[in-house]
Chain A
Amino acid sequence: MCGIVGIYLKKKSLHKKLGNYLSGMLDNMSSRGPDSAGFALYNKDNASKEYKYSVCFPYNFNVEKFKVSIRDEFKDILVKHISDHLIISTKTYPKAFLLFLHDNYKELKIIGYGKSIEIFKQVGNPKDIVKKFNLSKLQGSHAIGHTRMATESAITLDGSHPYSTGEDECLVHNGSLSNHNNLRRNLIKKGKKFNSFNDTEVAAGYISSQLSKNKSMKKTLTKCLSNLDGFYTFIAGTKNGFAVLRDEIACKPAVIAETKDYVAVASEFQAMAHLPNVNKAKIYEPEPGVVYTWGN
């Protein structure tokens, strides 16, 4: 099953409410995915020369010690600590910084990075995860989220969505892919790295590799229709907005609600029943095989 949600705010004055809106959406999708949950928030306004690295640490990790020792290496570093996640900000470029983390802190799981994205995910009931990361207080311009009912890979952090496989990129998925093993092998040959055996991570990797060839989101997702085999409704996030795609058979549901203030996407209407003026929104189902984008 799985539940997917996304919200894009059209008005800056609403940015402070982003976490509040999204937390309600994830709460309402607990029934579709009680195994794990995650979300990615984008804050375009904060985008500067700094990169933000979202990492998850194990229970025996000494955060205070880490903060002190990493500041010795990178003078400009800022570490925000939320539950078992750290958002590390620095001007150091990703290539160097990711290598540093990988070599010196193997126990940390890097779940995403970019100038605008912050990602949080963990195993457990979505309602608890939303509280644990204090989502309702977080702000931003747009966000996507996922509640997982695990099917083809284990209930672990590595199996949780969203998957981020490129700078400021992420993907959530409701469905299952049947050609992910082959596709993973092909992408690995081309230099992509994967952390799990999950099908969605492969789709995310595929989308990132297409986007890095300077292809637009619309072109990239259209290519998914011929190269990804299986069932899917995707929400793909970027720095500027997000996009939605359903496979052509369209077994996996999705509904979009659009008002002058926001665009919301979810697996079921009940995920957005709490949003302001939703009963006056333009509500429709995305057509099978058609790419919908906002902000991209």
Chain B
Amino acid sequence: MGKLENLDFKKNNLRNINNYLQNIDFKKNLRNFVIKNPSGNHAICAGLKEDISVNIKGHVGYYCGGMNQNAKITIEGNAGTGLGENMMSGLIHVKGNVSQSAGATAHGGTIIVDGNASSRCGISMKGVNIIIKGSVGHMSAFMAQSGNLLICGDAGEALGDSIYETVIYIAGKPKSLGADCVEKNITKKDLIKIEELLNIGNIKQIKSSKFKKYGSARKLYNFKIDNVSEY
């Protein structure tokens, strides 16, 4: 596992802390890090590349874990706008709530939120798996392209507006569906996927059979031959 190292925002600044975590010296056998007093700073742990584990003790600001590759980031608090935006791989686990646009454009990896996510969760997501134990706000999965968004609670207005091929699993109710988002039949394959996601999120209290599936009706983003005269 390697040794544990403490990093503290009271003693050091964002630039130094991020620089240090982005350029790990593996000769020192350091793999586990704790960040103290994050105090809502922006862009904490942005651009990490290595398979390390970072535990952040408190609330973080915007774009935490943005562009992450391989790292496992745990936030013991809330996260601001754009958590894990454009993440490529790795894991981000938030123990509190997250603000707008969590997992925006993220290509891979997993985001777990123990609380709620506010509006535009998973906007334009491109392959990430997002697991929300609470509810999500309006316009979640807007233009979402691939990956899975699993919501244990409810969703706000216009869920999955203009959605492409992301799959939404939701145990609660969406307030309304966005353009071209429809309910779909749950297959055996879906149940296996839901159980896999529940397992990753360590969610035991909700059964996979409780979830409904939403996705694209594929009427908006496919070219219709009827419209050929427009071009």
Interface positions of A (Cβ within 8 A of B): 250, 253, 255, 268-274, 279, 283-285, 288
Cβ-defined contact, B119 with A270, below 8 A: no
Q: How large is the interface on B (under 10, 10 to 19, 20 to 34, 35 or more residues)?
A: 20 to 34
- CB nearest neighbor in A for B138: A288
- Measured between beta carbons, the chain A residues less than 8 angstroms from B78 are 269, 283
Q: How far is the CB of B95 from chain A (nearest CB, A)?
A: 12
Main secondary structure of the interface of B (DSSP, over half): loop
Cβ-defined contact, A283 with B96, below 8 A: yes
**Contact residue among A269, A272, A279, A288 (Cβ-Cβ distance under 8 Å from B119):** A288
Beyond A268-B80, A285-B118, whether A273 also contacts B40 by CB under 8 A is yes
The 8 closest A-B pairs by CB, nearest first: A270-B40, A269-B40, A273-B39, A273-B40, A269-B59, A285-B118, A270-B61, A283-B78
Q: How far is the CB of A239 from chain B (nearest CB, A)?
A: 31
> Given contacts A284-B97, A288-B137, A288-B138, could you give 16 more A-B pairs where the C-beta distance is less than 8 Å?
A250-B118, A250-B119, A253-B100, A268-B40, A268-B80, A269-B40, A269-B80, A270-B39, A270-B42, A270-B61, A271-B40, A273-B59, A274-B39, A279-B59, A279-B77, A283-B97
- Measured between beta carbons, the chain A residues less than 8 angstroms from B99 are 253, 255, 285
**Contact residue among A268, A274, A288 (Cβ-Cβ distance under 8 Å from B61):** A268
- CB nearest neighbor in B for A279: B58
Instruction: Answer yes or no: B81 CB below 8 A from chain A CBs.
Output: yes
- CB nearest neighbor in B for A274: B39
Whole-angstrom CA separation of A283 from B97 in the bound complex: 9
Which residues of chain B from 66 to 121 have a CB within 8 Å of any chain A CB? 77-78, 80-81, 96-97, 99-100, 118-119
- Measured between beta carbons, the chain A residues less than 8 angstroms from B55 are none
Instruction: Answer yes or no: B41 CB below 8 A from chain A CBs.
Output: yes
- CB nearest neighbor in B for A248: B138
Whole-angstrom CA separation of A194 from B41 in the bound complex: 38
Q: How far is the CB of A253 from chain B (nearest CB, A)?
A: 6
Cβ-defined contact, A270 with B41, below 8 A: yes
Whole-angstrom CA separation of A269 from B59 in the bound complex: 8
Which residues of chain B from 194 to 222 have a CB within 8 Å of any chain A CB? none
Whole-angstrom CA separation of A253 from B40 in the bound complex: 14
> Which of B58, B77, B96, B118 has most A Cβ within 10 Å?
B118
Whole-angstrom CA separation of A288 from B97 in the bound complex: 16
Whole-angstrom CA separation of A291 from B218 in the bound complex: 38
- CB nearest neighbor in B for A31: B42
- Measured between beta carbons, the chain B residues less than 8 angstroms from A274 are 39
- Measured between beta carbons, the chain A residues less than 8 angstroms from B138 are 250, 288
- Measured between beta carbons, the chain A residues less than 8 angstroms from B61 are 268-270
Whole-angstrom CA separation of A283 from B42 in the bound complex: 18
